[in-house]
Structure 1
């Protein structure tokens, strides 16, 4: 193997690493900020309790007491700064399993899931987040307050090209009416760790050393 051939391999490997890093930065989720689904100064429910999500064009799927609030003053004005998804548990509804979900396509096996979450003032609503049925965080998330908190999780070992991200409200406190607010959802393909790159380059260097040794023997 010639040195220039090895250099070509290294260049290709470097280009592939760069391309993978660029691809990983692309958000695989559409409308992660929930800007589609409710008119200004309004909020719409999937179950039609107030407004309706039907035909609003959102790429998200909403069930039961969930929907989108757009600068609405309800729920303590928490949705007044931006469009958010709300996930509500309310004893007045016969069905009480609110979910917000979206499907996406990718052939990667590992993903980084990030999102913002806030509690309705004075509430203790919980959230279960799953990607292809795999529970993130190992259980339930319960934001401490109405202050917005950011969360990030890495999910690995997934197969196939079609995936589903789901947020499910869980009324862990037993309150008759409690809500969570979800925003800035992102799913990106996870790139290999720096250690993986180091192993790749070390392997290429080893190949080069072997090639040089063989070339030296042939010259002798």
Structure 2
């Protein structure tokens, strides 16, 4: 018997995949950023099948020499990617869609307002976005982890925009956790019971 993919099962059940904003991704793989101290727009390879690029020709990638976020503190010793601009966007592109993605972020809220992160599918259709509004105590290596998690691997792009946003510790969850499959199967079972009752 052939196995149906998670996405096909969702489609058969009439379930639309939807990404939830998350502040952790248990079981995810953390991608190690190379130390390059690169200034430019890329694209550059972060990991096999994962490329980084930016709309700003002065963005940083694999940068570890220290980076300030005004009142939100300073990063030192954290190899990072950053827009290095108040309004530019940088993008992670995945050759194979993933179910979850996130990173440890900081930005400059005082002068430039909030920063935004978003995920898109392979057709560049927006799946979900969230606005970063946190502030820190202004200390060293402060920030927060933010990301997105879906019930199926359909995230092909992560964008990070505005307010001198910086990111490190990118994490990826390639496939849904087993608990997600269990919830789907339970949902499909309930749909089957409801369908049988209607026929009766």
**Contact 2:119–2:148 (Cα < 8 Å) also in 1:** no
2:134 to 143, 157, 163: 143
Alignment of structure 1 residues 55-204 onto 2, 5 Å: 58=46, 59-64=51-56, 65-75=58-68, 78-90=74-86, 97-106=88-97, 111-120=99-108, 122-123=110-111, 124-132=113-121, 133-137=125-129, 139-145=130-136, 147-156=142-151, 164-170=156-162, 178-188=163-173, 189-191=175-177, 192-196=180-184
Higher RCO (C-alpha under 8 Å, 6+ residues apart): 2
Unaligned runs of 5+ in 2: 4-25, 190-200
Instruction: Give how far 1:158 is off.
Output: 6.3
Q: Deviations over 1:6-44 (max 9, x none)?
A: xxxxxxx9xxxxxxxxxx9564xxx734x2252xxxx43
TM-score by length of 1: 0.50
Counting matched residue pairs gives: 148
Consecutive unaligned residues in structure 1, runs of 5 or more: 1-12, 14-23, 48-52, 91-95, 171-177, 202-220
Task: Return the index of the structure with the highest Cα Rg.
Answer: 1
CA distance in 1 between partners of 2:96 and 2:88 (Å): 26
| Alignment TM-score, normalising by the size of structure 2 | 0.54
RMSD between aligned alpha carbons? 3.9
* 1:36 lines up with 2:24 in the alignment: no
* 3-state DSSP of counterpart to 2:164: strand
